Structure 1
Amino acid sequence: MRVLASLISNHGLGYFGFCKVKVGFYSSMTGMPWGGSEVLWSKVAHRLLNNDIQVTVNYRWWENAAPELDHLRSAGATIWPRRDPTWRSWPYRMTSPRNLESETSHVRRWIAREKPDFVLVILGYHLDAVTPATELIRREIPYAINVQAASTEALEETDLEEFRAAYRNARKVFFVSQENLDRVETNLAIELHNAAIVDNPFNVQWNANPCWPSDQGRLQLACVGRIHFTSKGQDLLIPLLKQEKWRDRNLCIRLFGDSQGNRTQMEGLIERYGLQSHIQLAGFAQNVEDIWGNHHGLILPSRFEGAALAVVETMLCNRICITTDVGRNRELIDHGETGFLAAAATVELLDAALEAAWKKRGDWRSMGELAGRRIRQRYGSNPVSDFYQQIVDLGHIQ
């Protein structure tokens, strides 16, 4: 039997005799061309390529493809674009519907043609289908699953056995928080003995320490994340800050992030309620550490999360977080000590958390410094190296 771990470690060449190892990556991403769920696996893929391991990627076709896919292709990976499910993309407008290849058939063809020795299936959301699983099981190709986010949304009973089989037969199912693992086990109504928690890479220095901003009488919070009401919950900031007590307080929230379909609504709501001096749209920031040189803390009213990188990065930059008890937040934030947790994403509970934070605003700097120390005790300093090693080890076929 081929042993992927020993092949990769053997002079870094990835060979066994004359046969070269190949690792496949299948991403379920469909909401946008690229996102935070894609960072971990793509960085691991680059590291495999650097070690002369072949990589093949199955990813949804986008008219404006993410540059990260081009970077992988340039590094030597083969990229298999799946059809646009809407059939609006130009390759499919020119094809008779009878001749369109189903996603399942496409994935089977990808596996048959590429013959990967190991496959990582990345699910951006817990209800995304583990499409390659049936074919991988049939061909006895080992695979793992990486679930990047989970919510309270329930799996349909008709899909239960298919999902159970996919998860049970995986060598490992990686989650980014214990809360997400618990949610998926509840959805499947089984215990996942093959589950593990991993860290996602972050976009600040491990020893980041931006200067504390001058408040000049005004406290400034950043809300960092794509503008997407369903997941990030920025719409909740409107009924929160339109209350008279918050209008009367010297507090400003700036939203950093691209739109995932809701920026126009956010702009309209800000204008409708006259909140321009309290909520501002700042767009996408290339340098995350620069944000924290001008803001005193994070507010993130998420309805669901996996492990919010905004929280990790905020704490690494020695700032407090005011957020909801979803995803990994409860594992990282100590309520009242390093931040403030709302029990759920409701206006009333967010108001209570923000009010508690406001009463302790004189302590935000020292609380942020404590947050910086705590996050470095609870989160890995090199998530890519850690996950790379786990993928290598999983390829060891017993």
Structure 2
Amino acid sequence: MRIGIISTVGDYSWAGSEEMWKLFATEALHRGHSVAVMVQTPIAQSEELTKFHALGGVVFAYNPLNRYTSRTVSRGLYSRFRQLKRWQPEVVCTSGPPATPYRDKDLYRFLRAHTGGRVFIIQGNAESYVAGQAEREALRALYRSARRIICVSRDNAELLQRQLTSTLPIAILPNPIRTRLEHPLPWPGDLEQVRFATVGRYEVGSKCQDRTLHALSTAEWKGRNWRLDLFGSGPDERYLQDVIGYYGLEDRVTLCGFERDFAKIWKDHHIHVLTSRAEGLALALVESMFCGRPAVITRTGGNHELLRDNKDGFVSVGEDPEIIREALERAWMNRDRWPEMGEAAFHRANEWIPRDLPVRLFHTICNSGC
């Protein structure tokens, strides 16, 4: 079977959302199938695809649309997906936000013209991700014709069906963890200073790091002994540095950049602060829970399905800074419980992510047709 995969994620050399399609592609290659992936140029050049190349996988690179290519694409004169079309996949699987298969018109035409199976992996959803009647109707028809739609959380699945007012062929599977830990990490040795960490793209529209900084900017919080390290990369790095200065948090908050080794992060940090506005199921949350760390999260995507309030961490009902501050306050007042909650978080994550996820993913996508 010839399987084509299209990731619509851009502007990053790698992202947690790419782990699911990579897991599926690797399993398919091990089973003797042919797999070609079409990814944006930074991801095509990533070292994360070394094993995929070694197994015989094919990589096609493409670039985001610019002013010129947008015009030619809108007129039907150009498509970035010609290489994959010539490769002649029998099954096509896309991975990304729900509306991109319609908004990128060359991708939309490619998918509509494809006569084989179509599978969609939805990596994150929010109220604003699907908008306008024409978009809803086009996506409804496209997704109804899918062999399967994979959502990484029940929240995302229910929202997508409401947005498109349609019952869809959805399966729910969690995002995988890159390295599965068999035991939580030891609790950090420094017990005097609380060390918060946030792991996620520097992209405040979805990750809301600026709102976390606002929540921590009060005189009361400045009188406490804590640090916050922000791990990641992305377009809002300069803005976040400015926000840190604006709130006078230069001696408290550090932008640490991207760190692939999640265990290296969590051996020195006590609790994860992940106050997102839009999520699927954050790989960064799964990783911190496997390390035995509680978290403060917002009720977004699958994060609150995985993490149980007051058991594995603390759930904020919204991303307004005042509401985030209330959740942070609850966490602070329960600091003595964090090691116990971290242990519970490890067991919860270990139960949530099935060990046979590659096999489940393969069969869900191929539906015994591969």
Q: TM-score, normalised by structure 1?
A: 0.84
Residue 354 (structure 1) aligns with: 328
**1:141-166 CA deviation, whole Å, 9 max, x = no partner?**
01111001111103221222211111
Cα distance, 1:381 vs. partner?
A: 2.9
Give the gaps of 5 or more residues in structure 2.
none
Q: Which moved more, 1:387-396 or 1:141-150?
A: 387-396
Residue 190 (structure 1) aligns with: 166
Partners of 1:150 and 1:99 in 2: CA distance? 26
**1:14-72 CA deviation, whole Å, 9 max, x = no partner?**
xxxxxxx2111122223434322212112322332233311122233459833445664
* Aligned residue among 138, 144, 147 for 1:162: 138
Aligned pair in 2 of structure 1 residues 51, 64: CA closer, same or farther (>3 Å)? closer
* Aligned residue among 70, 86, 89 for 1:116: 89
Letter in 2 for 1:172: R
Residue 354 (structure 2) aligns with: 380
Shift >6 Å, 4+ stretches: 97-101
The structure whose Rg is larger is 1
* Aligned residue among 231, 251, 269 for 1:295: 269
Counting only pairs closer than 5 Å after superposition, residues 1-398 of structure 1 correspond to structure 2 as 21-61=1-41, 65-68=45-48, 72-73=52-53, 75-86=55-66, 105-107=79-81, 109-110=82-83, 112-123=85-96, 125-130=97-102, 132=107, 135-136=110-111, 138-153=113-128, 154-192=130-168, 194-258=169-233, 260-395=234-369
**1:309-363 CA deviation, whole Å, 9 max, x = no partner?**
1111111111111010001122111111211000111101101101111111111
Partners of 1:297 and 1:339 in 2: CA distance? 9
Aligned length: 365
Letter in 1 for 2:162: T
Letter in 2 for 1:38: E
Identity of aligned residues (%): 28
Partners of 2:29 and 2:366 in 1: CA distance? 13
Aligned pair in 2 of structure 1 residues 99, 24: CA closer, same or farther (>3 Å)? closer
Partners of 1:204 and 1:42 in 2: CA distance? 14
Aligned pair in 2 of structure 1 residues 104, 72: CA closer, same or farther (>3 Å)? farther
Partners of 1:182 and 1:170 in 2: CA distance? 17
Cα distance, 1:223 vs. partner?
A: 0.7
Q: TM-score, normalised by structure 2?
A: 0.90
Aligned pair in 2 of structure 1 residues 31, 201: CA closer, same or farther (>3 Å)? same
Partners of 1:53 and 1:392 in 2: CA distance? 11
C-alpha contact (below 8 Å) 1:232/1:302 kept by paired residues: yes
C-alpha contact (below 8 Å) 1:306/1:328 kept by paired residues: yes
Residue 17 (structure 1) aligns with: none
Partners of 1:378 and 1:372 in 2: CA distance? 10
Partners of 2:72 and 2:363 in 1: CA distance? 44
Residue 11 (structure 1) aligns with: none
Letter in 2 for 1:247: K
**What secondary structure does 2:100 align onto?**
coil
Partners of 1:282 and 1:357 in 2: CA distance? 23
C-alpha contact (below 8 Å) 2:125/2:159 kept by paired residues: yes
Give the gaps of 5 or more residues in structure 1.
1-20
